[in-house]
Chains A and B, each alone.
Chain A
Amino acid sequence: MTELRTPPYVVNIGPQHPSTHGVFRVKATLDGERIIDAEMVLGYLHRSMEKLAEERTFTQNIPFTDRMDYLAAMTGNLGYCLAVEKLAGIEVPERAQYLRVIFAELQRIASHCMANGTFVNDCGAWQTPLMYMFRERERILDLFEMTCGARLTTNYMRIGGVSFDVPDEFYPAVNSLMAEMPDRIAEYEGLTLDNEILLARARDIGVLRPDVAINSSATGPLLRGSGIAWDVRKADPYCVYDRMEFDIPIGRNGDCFDRFIVRMEEMRQSVRIIKQALEQLPAGPVNVPLPLALKPPPGEAYARIESPKGELGFYLVSDGGPTPYRWHVRSPSYINLTVLKDMVVGLSIADAIVSLGSIDINVGEIDR
């Protein structure tokens, strides 16, 4: 099709499009079906969180982090709380640290289920893999619900710990889920990884070279898919990740398929971490008493965690008052999205959608 020149024309993929995972627009210039230029247009979901946060107290800002990456609220909470704790110098009780790890990893599994399910959807499957993965995501959300009462926007992590200790019925539920999970992941893999159509759609599509990945500061499965073993949990351990044993999965080729299988394997590693954390879970308080209006000393702090999408960083500046002076988020979705243009120019629309799906963006986090 490329040789037979047709007049180039512009197609707006989004903001209302089944595959943009929210409201975000790719202004694609097409020659036939081939994309010759792509321009990301962001801001349809901008809620001005960073500015709003400057008017609210440190504690009041936690719900914002739920609503950034609403598919991974736990990790959003965690990153912010870590930053505030670093700023104010708060020690978190050990049990809370373990609970944070458990819930962050559960959230990672849930988020990866969603990411991989929608990725196969983007490849054209008719919802089936998504439904399979939702089955387990549902049980994880049930665990969240029994612990903190919310399923999606959990607001569970608090400054100085977590809001509630886990109830008694949590342990059998999480244990049975963790016992089943490896089989389930094997089931997903059996259903997808050896499917030639999926391979044809995702192998060698949207290849991100390692040097480009590093130069564009991509993180998370996107970076690991390109074959670079980088994980904030290993590089800069927070909570109790340094006591956990887990491996970093990396891809070989840096294509969409590699990102997909990296996520698959990360789920398995998360199960490993959760099992270890449950074994080591000590007794004790789950948070420390803090004043209602927390006033960290003047200064700045940056805390980063490995969220399901990549490196989630919170940069906070305090002027000694009850509200942050500056509240900045390094959101992985936003930074990972910047490589999309390099990936998709020259590909067809279908491939562009697959590439976009493989980055696993969340527009709530991009636009904040």
Chain B
Amino acid sequence: MAPLLNWYDFDPFHDLYHWLDKHVESWVVYLVAAVIGSAGILTFVGLGALVNVWLERRLIGRIQVRRGPNRVGPFGLVQPVADAIKLIQKEVLQPDAADSRLFNLPPIIVFIPAMLTFAVFAWAPDLVLANLDAGVLYLLAISSITALAIFIAGWSSNNKYALLGAMRVIAMMISYEVPMVMCFLAPVLLAGTMSVAGLVQWQQHHFLLAAFVPMSVLIYGLSATAELNRTPADIAEAESEIVAGYHTEYSGMKFGLFYAVELINSLAVSGIMASLFFGGWWLFGVEKVIPAWIIFILKIYFFYFGLIWLRGTLPRFRIDQLMGLAWKMLLPLALINVAVIATEVLIWQEADLGGWVLAPYAVVNIALTAALVVVFFRIVTARFYRLPTRVILVRDIQVPALPAPASSALRPPTPLPQ
């Protein structure tokens, strides 16, 4: 088995690295590693975008009691290719009054953060393209670039719907960055590192962070849908309201790029979720049997499935409700979360307790999260359950006595002239 395991464990790359390290300058090693790693990530992302098109359409079809694409190739598997060919063939329109220099930029810019996110993921124990010291902060920083690209798209289209979409994105991004930073703080505090690989390693030694910081998982899950513009937070491209939001004026492959980036970003967010809270490549020792990177990809797709499920299930929030959710619900919860975790870490370190203390922490945190979420949820939704959600049934016509209409409505009949 061992030689078979070798090639897909990427061990030859390790050997290559060590061999290069002995023979050439360090920056050449760095360059080679960067090129190979980027190529690998680009391959994964490119394939992922294609797979996701099929997966998303197929699964949404399942959710919606229909079949989804099933004509092109077996199970419709070649459908993404057909889609891409169609999009490439379409005419790329550009509005006359668009800011043409800016108009062509966003489809390219949105790709940058989507791709960059994958650089810090730990795909396997020693397989990190860029093990950044401030990896978590890096994830947050580059995610803000997406919103800028979307803003440029909305602004340069010179379309009112697009501008509305862009304004919504900017407002939403500012709001959701705050709870997101806060919810990342908790695992960072607990693990004592900001590197994504470090967080995964910590989880390998202890347990899934999701058990200790369940609140962060919830907050990140919600913020991520907002960050991704997927339902229930797809207000930036809300089809029924502002047509297609910021990409209303993009057609052909320019739209295709936006579409692909949305799918890639979904993968990226799933990857963040998997690495930060659900152990990355680590899975209770299974990673010794199955290559770790396969476990990681499976985890990514598990959370991606969750995103598809959400999209197939939920209606959309209104923009002010979404803002309210961020500021009034997620931010207080995140602050409470950080306070609790900080206290726990303090007790853990000051009292010099062993690793066993994490077990009661997990219990306490899960219970606290459940209680807080239920309480907040009750408070927020009480307004909607003020009235029953079922109708009144009456047997017969009954028109209630109404307040007398305004004087102009009822005039005495004018007598006919004699």
> Which chain A residues border B2 with CB–CB below 8 Å?
none
Q: Is the pair A11, B161 in contact by a Cβ cutoff of 8 Å?
A: yes
Closest chain B residue to A132 by CB distance?
B65
Q: Report chain A residues within 8 Å CB of B235.
A: 350
Q: Determine the chain A residues whose CB is within 8 A of the CB of B417 once the complex forms.
A: none
Is B86's CB within 8 Å of the partner chain A? no
Tell me whether B240 is interfacial, beta carbon within 8 Å.
yes
In the complex the two chains form, is B314's CB within 8 Å of A195's CB? yes
Which A residues, 314 to 368, have Cβ-Cβ distances below 8 Å to chain B? 348-351, 353, 357
Could you give, for residues 250-264 of chain A, a 1 whenever the CB lies within 8 Å of some chain B CB and a 0 otherwise? 111100011001101
The answer to whether B317 and A33 touch across the interface, beta carbons within 8 angstroms, is no
Q: Is the CB of B384 within 8 A of A199?
A: yes
Known contacts A215-B409, A247-B395, A249-B393, A197 near B243 by CB under 8 Å: no
- Of B126-134, B365-373, B400-408, the one touching chain A: B400-408
Contact: A199 with B389, CB < 8 Å?
yes
List, in ascending order, chain B residues with CB within 8 A of A261's CB.
Answer: 389-391
* Shortest distance from the beta carbon of B385 to any chain A beta carbon, whole Å: 8
Q: Which residues of chain B are near A126, meaning CB under 8 Å?
A: 60, 231, 311-312
User: Chain A residues near B319 (CB, 8 Å)?
Assistant: 33, 348, 350
B63 located at the interface, meaning its Cβ lies under 8 Å from any Cβ of chain A in the complex = yes
Quick check: is A214 within 8 A (CB to CB) of the other chain? yes
Contact (Cβ within 8 A) A353 B396: no
B160 lies within 8 A of chain A by Cβ:
yes
Q: Are B400 and A215 in contact (CB under 8 A)?
A: no
A210 interfacial contact with B, CB 8 Å: yes
Tell me how far the C-beta of B80 lies from the nearest C-beta in chain A, rounded to whole angstroms: 19
Q: Is A60 an interface residue (CB 8 A)?
A: no
Q: Which residues of A contact B392 (CB under 8 A)?
A: 227, 249-252
CA distance A195 to B316 in the complex (A): 11
Contact B315 A201 (CB under 8 A): yes
Contact across chains for A230 and B316 when beta carbons are under 8 A apart: no
Determine if B63 and A128 form an interchain contact, defined as CB atoms under 8 angstroms apart: yes
| Stretch among A66-74, A84-92, A115-123, A295-303 lining the B interface | A115-123
The residue of chain A having its C-beta at the shortest distance from the C-beta of B60 within the complex is A126
Interface membership of chain A positions 113-138, coded 1 if the CB is closer than 8 angstroms to chain B and 0 otherwise: 00000001111111110011001000
Residues of A within 8 A of B390 (CB): 193, 261, 265
B312 touches A203 (CB 8 A): no
Known contacts A33-B164, A197-B232, A201-B316; A235/B241 CB under 8 A: no
Evaluate whether A198 and B241 lie within 8 angstroms (CB atoms) in the complex, with A9-B160, A131-B66, A251-B391 already known. Answer: no
Chain A CB within 8 A of B399 CB = yes
Pair A248/B397 contact, Cβ less than 8 Å: yes
> Is B231 within 8 A of A250, CB to CB?
no
| B240 CB contact (under 8 Å) in A33, A124, A197 | A124
Asked whether A23 is an interface residue with its Cβ less than 8 Å from the other chain, the reply is no
Q: How far is the CA of A123 from the CA of B314 in the complex (A)?
A: 9
A18 CB-CB contact with B under 8 Å = yes
A131 touches B65 (CB 8 A): yes
* Contact across chains for B315 and A123 when beta carbons are under 8 A apart: yes
A102 adjacent to chain B (CB < 8 Å): no
* Among candidates A17, A196, A251, A351, residue contacting B384 with C-beta atoms closer than 8 Å: A196
For B389, the chain A residues whose CB sits under 8 A away are: 193-194, 199, 257, 261
Residues of chain B within 8 A of A350, CB atoms compared: 235, 238, 241, 316, 318-319
Q: Is A54's CB within 8 Å of the partner chain B?
A: no
* A229: contacting residue among B65, B240, B396, CB under 8 A: B396
Chain A residues, CB < 8 A from B383 = 203
A234 on the B face (CB < 8 A): yes
Q: Is A211 an interface residue (CB 8 A)?
A: yes
Taking a contact as CB atoms closer than 8 A, the residue among B66, B381, B405 that contacts A199 in the complex is: B381
Task: Determine if B31 is an interface residue (Cβ-Cβ < 8 Å).
Answer: no
Q: Across the interface, name the chain A residue whose C-beta is closest to B66.
A: A131
* Most chain B CB atoms below 10 A, which of A196, A231, A348: A196
Cβ of B318 and Cβ of A135 under 8 Å apart? no
CA gap between A235 and B399 in the complex, in Å: 11
B230 (CB) vs chain A CBs: closest residue: A126
List residues of chain A with CB within 8 A of the CB of B400.
Answer: 210, 227-228
Interface centre among B381, B383, B387, B396 (most CB of A within 10 A): B387
Min CB distance, A39 to chain B, in Å?
A: 16
Bound complex: CA A121 to CA B316 (Å): 9
With A193-B389, A249-B392 known as contacts, the answer to whether A351 contacts B381 (CB < 8 A) is: no
B63, B241, B402 interface centre (most CB from chain A within 10 Å): B241
* 0/1 interface trace, chain B 352-367, chain A, CB 8 Å (1 if under): 0000000000000000
**What CA separation (Å) do A126 and B230 show in the bound complex?**
10
Residues of A176-229 at the interface with B, using a CB-CB cut-off of 8 Å, are 193-201, 203, 210-211, 214-215, 227-229
| Residues of the A chain whose Cβ atoms lie less than 8 Å from the Cβ of B409 | 215
Cα-based distance from A203 to B405 in the complex (angstroms) = 27
Does B398 have its Cβ within 8 Å of any Cβ on chain A?
A: yes
**Do A351 and B318 touch (CB < 8 A)?**
yes
Given A120-B315, A132-B65, A265-B393, residue A19 in contact with residue B405 (CB < 8 A): no
Is the CB–CB distance between A203 and B393 below 8 Å?
A: no
Q: Which of B234, B311, B394, B402 contacts A247 (CB 8 A)?
A: B394
- A80 and B63 CA atoms in complex are apart in Å by 41
Q: Known: A211-B403, A249-B392. Is A203-B384 also a contact (CB below 8 A)?
A: yes
Taking CB atoms and an 8 Å cut-off, the chain A residues in 1-47 that contact chain B are: 1, 9, 11, 17-19, 33
Decide if B405 touches A211 in the complex (CB within 8 Å).
yes
Chain B residue with Cβ nearest A203: B384
Whether, in the assembled complex, B242 has its beta carbon less than 8 Å from a beta carbon of chain A, the answer is: yes
Interface residues of B in 29-85 (CB under 8 A from A): 60, 63-66
User: Is there contact, CB below 8 Å, between B402 and A214?
Assistant: yes
In-complex Cβ contact of B387 among A17, A195, A200, A252 (8 A): A252
Contact B381 A196 (CB under 8 A): yes
Q: Which of B161, B321, B395, B403 is within 8 Å of A200, CB to CB?
A: B321
Interface residues of A in 120-158 (CB under 8 A from B): 120-128, 131-132, 135
Say yes or no: is B343 at the interface (Cβ < 8 Å to chain A). Answer: no
In the assembled complex, the CB of B178 is this many whole angstroms from the nearest CB of chain A, namely 18
B241 CB contact (under 8 Å) in A19, A132, A195: A19
Q: How far is the CB of B321 from chain A (nearest CB, A)?
A: 6
Contact (A229, B60) CB under 8 Å given A11-B161, A196-B384, A348-B319? no
State the 8 A-B residue pairs at the shortest beta-carbon distance, nearest first: A124-B316, A131-B64, A199-B384, A249-B391, A247-B393, A123-B315, A19-B240, A125-B315
Using a CB–CB cutoff of 8 Å, the interface residues on chain A facing chain B are 1, 9, 11, 17-19, 33, 120-128, 131-132, 135, 193-201, 203, 210-211, 214-215, 227-231, 234-235, 247-253, 257-258, 261-262, 264-265, 348-351, 353, 357
Between-chain CB contacts (< 8 Å), 16 pairs: A19-B239, A33-B319, A125-B313, A125-B314, A128-B63, A128-B313, A196-B377, A199-B381, A201-B318, A211-B403, A229-B396, A251-B391, A261-B390, A350-B241, A351-B318, A353-B241
Q: A235-B397, A251-B392 are in contact. List 13 more A-B contacts (CB 8 A).
A: A11-B164, A33-B168, A193-B390, A197-B232, A199-B389, A200-B317, A201-B315, A201-B316, A229-B396, A229-B398, A247-B394, A249-B391, A353-B241
